[in-house]
Amino acid sequence: MKKALVLGASGGMGYSIVKELSNRGIEVTAFARTKSKLDELFRDDANVTIFQGDIFQIQDLKSAANNVDVIFQAANIPYPEWEEKLETFMGNVLVAAKESKASLAMVDNIYAYGRSGGRKVREDFPKNPHTKKGQIRLNVEALVKNSGVKALIAHFPDFYGPNAENSILHFTLQGVVKNKRAMFVGNQKIKREFIFTPDGAKAIVNLALNEDAYGQNWNIPGSGVISGKELVKLIRDIDNYEKGVTTITKGMIRFLGIFDPFMREVVEMFYLNEEPVVLDGTKYEQFIGELPNTAYRDGLKQTIDYMKKNEL
């Protein structure tokens, strides 16, 4: 891989993928809608070319994908738009990949797996989503697999890390960095899984560099499971944080959904805070080697430091 395109480069995982590719000396086109955000993130990186574009404009995608070897699809859209627009925009990405003869490395979540029944989920776990958004993600996966594009799909748990603003833990850490009362979504006693975005970026780039990884799904787990109480204790130790932490319940989100379309869409995914899906990374480790694994303490410290430096 000599040149790559990263869609959603201004988001959490997209940002880390751009930095990982650049650190390996690979030329990167960083694609997102807001030029000022791209400039802020990448203007000092000689390996990165900024491309302001719209994922719903096929010509923007075609122009950005010209002469690239791999397209990393890390872009996303708000929940309320998924049903109408997610498959449309992925169709645009696939058209651009075909025209440029580029491979596709797709960042995906765990929604298509549905409930796991408490078992660790391997790639061959039957996908039987019970939510609308899980079914949409499964439809997108089928679209990719039936497209004829050489593609790999990487499933990740919830993100946290530098610039990962649209995440549950970022929501908690916002209160911490402002030294205000923080909020944690879900029961703080339940253990669940998160991935530090630089670790996820290393893993998907490792896969994208291996021709035999394409045509397959890959699970990329985080650094083990951890409860909200354990996370809060780490945060207090790291930052000398002493304020209280409020638990956000499903009922509270359902109430907010009366007024907010985004919150209405969040309610159906709340099961992940009650019955967490935990990924099994054995396939990756047997194929590539040890998974990138930053301890939660180190990852949280790096994330908090980034947020303070950038006043997020």
pLDDT by residue (tens digit) across 218-261? Answer: 999 999 999 999 999 999 999 999 999 999 888 888 877 666 66
Assess if residue 302 is contained within a domain. no
* Whether residue 29 is found in the same domain as residue 67: yes
* Whether residue 104 is found in the same domain as residue 178: no
* Whether residue 211 is found in the same domain as residue 175: no
Assess if residue 310 is contained within a domain. no
For residue 284, the domain's CATH number is 3.40.50.720
Assess if residue 301 is contained within a domain. no
Domain of residue 212 covers 3-161+195-222+277-294
* Whether residue 47 is found in the same domain as residue 92: yes
Assess if residue 50 is contained within a domain. yes
* Whether residue 156 is found in the same domain as residue 172: no
Assess if residue 255 is contained within a domain. yes
* Whether residue 174 is found in the same domain as residue 290: no
pLDDT in tens, 289-300: 999 999 999 999
pLDDT average, residue stretch 177-201: 94
* Whether residue 154 is found in the same domain as residue 72: yes
CB crowding 181-218: b at 16 or more within 10 Å, else e: ebbbbbeeeeebbbbbbbbbbbbbbbbbbeeebbeebb
Q: At what angle do helices 132-145 and 87-100 cross, to 10 degrees?
A: 20
pLDDT at 38 over 80: yes
* Whether residue 69 is found in the same domain as residue 137: yes
- What is the pTM for the complete model shown? 0.95
Instruction: Indicate the average pLDDT of the chain.
Output: 94
- The pLDDT assigned to 243 comes to 93
* Whether residue 124 is found in the same domain as residue 237: no
Please, which pLDDT band fits residue 120 given cuts at 50, 70 and 90?
Answer: very high
* Whether residue 106 is found in the same domain as residue 18: yes
What gap in Å lies between CA 38 and CA 215, rounded to an integer? 31
Assess if residue 311 is contained within a domain. no
Assess if residue 107 is contained within a domain. yes
* Whether residue 70 is found in the same domain as residue 36: yes
* Whether residue 143 is found in the same domain as residue 240: no
Assess if residue 44 is contained within a domain. yes
Count of structural domains within the chain: 2
Instruction: Please answer whether residues 85 and 139 qualify as being in contact, where contact means their C-beta atoms are separated by less than 8 angstroms.
Output: no
pLDDT at 68 over 70: yes
- The pLDDT assigned to 254 comes to 81
Instruction: Please answer whether residues 72 and 154 qualify as being in contact, where contact means their C-beta atoms are separated by less than 8 angstroms.
Output: no
